[in-house]
Amino acid sequence: MCLIGWAWRPGTPTPLWIAANRDEAWDRPAVPLRRWRLPDGTVVLSGRDQLAGGAWLAFGAGGRLAMLTNVRAGSSAARSAPRSRGLLVTGWLGADARVQDWHAWLRGHPASAYEGCNLVLADVATGQWRWLTNVDPRGRGEHWDDLEEMHGWWGADVPVGVHALSNAALDTPWPKAERLHAALEAVAAGNCALPKAEAALRAVLQTHVPCPQGDPAALTRSPWVHWPQRRYGTRSSLIAWLDSAGTLHATEWTYAPELGPDGIPHASVRRRSIHWCGMPTSS
The answer to whether 44 and 36 are in contact (CB under 8 A) is yes
Q: What is the C-alpha to C-alpha distance for residues 259 and 206, in angstroms, rounded to an integer?
A: 12
Q: What is the C-alpha to C-alpha distance for residues 213 and 275, in angstroms, rounded to an integer?
A: 45
pLDDT of residue 79: 53
- In single-letter form, the type of residue at position 186 comes to A
Q: Residues of the chain whose pLDDT is less than 50? A: 75-78, 99, 278-283
pLDDT of residue 280: 41
Condensed to tens digits (0 to 9), the pLDDT of residues 121-145 reads 999 988 989 999 999 887 766 577 6
- In single-letter form, the type of residue at position 49 comes to D
C-alpha angle 188/193/64, rounded to 5°?
A: 50
> Between the CA of residue 142 and those of 73, 139, 149, what are the distances in Å?
20, 7, 16
Domains of the chain: 2-275 (3.60.60.10)
Condensed to tens digits (0 to 9), the pLDDT of residues 48-85 reads 999 999 999 999 988 999 999 999 755 444 456 789 99
The answer to whether 164 and 171 are in contact (CB under 8 A) is yes
pLDDT of residue 279: 36
The answer to whether 204 and 223 are in contact (CB under 8 A) is yes
pLDDT of residue 229: 86
Helix (H, G, I), strand (E, B) or coil at 5: strand
Q: Is 23 left (phi over 0), alpha (psi -120 to 50) or beta?
A: beta
pLDDT of residue 100: 54
pLDDT of residue 197: 95
Average pLDDT over all residues of the chain? 87
Q: What is the C-alpha to C-alpha distance for residues 88 and 62, in angstroms, rounded to an integer?
A: 18
